Structure 1
Amino acid sequence: MKTFFSTLFAVSVLLVNCTNPIEQKSDKPQKTNEFALVVHGGAGTILKKNMTPEKEKAYKEKLEEAIKVGYNILKNGGKSIDAVEQTIHILENSPLFNAGKGAVFTHEENNELDASIMTGNDLNAGSVAGVTDIKNPITLARKVMENSEHVMLSGKGASIFAKEQGVEIVDPKYFFTENRFNSLQRIKEKMKAELDHDGKSAFYDPLIKDSKFGTVGCVALDKNGNITAGTSTGGMTNKRWNRIGDAPIIGSGTYANNATCGVSSTGWGEYFIRAQVAHDISALMDYKGLSLKDAAKEVIQNKLTKLGGTGGIIAVDKNGNMVFEFNTAGMYRASMNDKGEAEIKIYKD
């Protein structure tokens, strides 16, 4: 009888502990923000000593303008996909960033644009690569996702699809900016001066590697718990042979999953493709139970860095936690939580 009551007491204690509401609450991830938004305008060698007060002010004002557009959509109960698209429009329409209007020049002295978008509720995605006459590539990427059976369209085919969808087409001259064109000429002159005895010159010049990357991106979580991520870029200065980077590649430059997080990347695209950076962050959260912060740090500061890759990511998880992670001197970045509190930064600090 004594053994029976001892066993009954032990079972009772175990049941009380298992149903303790305080313990259950502590084990459940807490919602940090009902909705949240993060934006980037590229990462790279961005140093305060090289920045004028006027230029710094211009970058911060444009980032603030962009993030407020997305915030207002989310605050009013709008969809994360609309917030991402409209936020990126602001950055694509600005000559400050390497996307849309401010796209860099290829070796052949034209502009080839890439973009992608992904929704976390259904893992649907769309992207475009090497387009030359689309004012806002992020919009065309969304059209590919929503109005075609494909994920990625490129070049002339993407432009034909854009016309059928009523997406705004512009003369390629629209993308000309003097400072981007001059950057290309400086690189060409340096490469010409460093021709080896065989008359060959390296494609990846040090000037390219050490310059800032102006790719833009946005990740948003809306009030319905849906995550969307988007990325848009002009690629790499002096790129040749219709080179395509990570921005239009799902899992490399862009990824979103409501079960984990949304990610937008910026940096040296070849390394982000090889490391599948955006998806890897989500996978570490899903398979190993890492937090967004720890997963992003592992991928950017360890895996990517060991490969020799430079750049960074912005991300939002399903609970509204926001993360910026980069291994460069700076990243144009901004965030805004559900209380309307904004954070806008450029340098590593």
Structure 2
Amino acid sequence: MAVLVSGGAGYIGSHMVLELLDRGESVVVLDNLSTGFWWAVPKEAVLIQGDIADQELVARVIAEHAVTEIAHFAARIVVPESVADPLGYYLNNTVKTRSLLESAVRGGVQRIIFSSTAAVYGEPAISPVPEEIELHPINPYGRSKLMSEWMLSDVARAHGLSFVVLRYFNVAGADPKGRSGQSSPNATHLIKVAGQAALGQRDGLEVFGTDYPTPDGTCIRDYIHVTDLARAHLCALDHLRTGGKSLTLNCGYGRGYSVNEVVAVVKKVSGVDFPVKLSGRRAGDPASLVAKADRIRTELGWTPEHDDLEEIVRQALDWEQRLKTRNAV
């Protein structure tokens, strides 16, 4: 018996792999390594390079490794990129998820954890945002994920699967033990980019939009530590294994920080006053996204352990230093 982690060589997926291995689970990672890194997968896990839409490959992996659950992370996630390339996002995030679900049904997999996003909410009229609010995604990334949520729900109803959909807010930080982190050099995550600016790997930081209807005019986001998020997946797995019902849950802390506030914390923790350039808004960015996050605590018994922005930033910076050393070798 094993858990199949699609996209397990990527940022969030690799942290899920670490958490599974830490508690003695058998793990198989399927990743095409388009944005992931082979070295991010511990040797205790089985790494298979391939595409989730390769149904022959996925069928073989499920059968050979006796896969009982799938944690599905593989996706493209950059909002402005989705606006520029909607067809690419519908292919990678929706069409390929459909292929993976078909392979899961054929292979007898009964439990699926799906990596979704707060982008399904669009510009919510309520803050913090509850799960039951009407969904109006405003960019192809959010729409591609919402379509996948619908497919998963329909497939579960038709074939007796159980699932947990986790809608991520802004994921940040790195493994506290220094084993993994956000490794893509061209990532657009604010804390990642600000950390690179603090370490001199970028000329500075560009802030997109200063005229939003927020206290300081910059976007507000709910930042969740990647390890807390990975452990939410473990709670979801345990919930399903004990016969729990299918659920759709927010993953956040229920508190938001503006871009300016995050930049100030990065400067404080790093001790570097890096340049900041103010620019116009980016396409597809909502003004504020903060989770109403009580349901995940009630339903899954999830208790965050790293709800501290300075800790998140410090560990992200530590990981950037590790990457710098690794890339210099």
Asked if TM exceeds 0.5, the reply is no
TM-score (norm 1): 0.30
The TM-score normalised by the length of structure 2 is 0.32
Higher RCO (CA 8 Å, separation ≥ 6 residues): 1
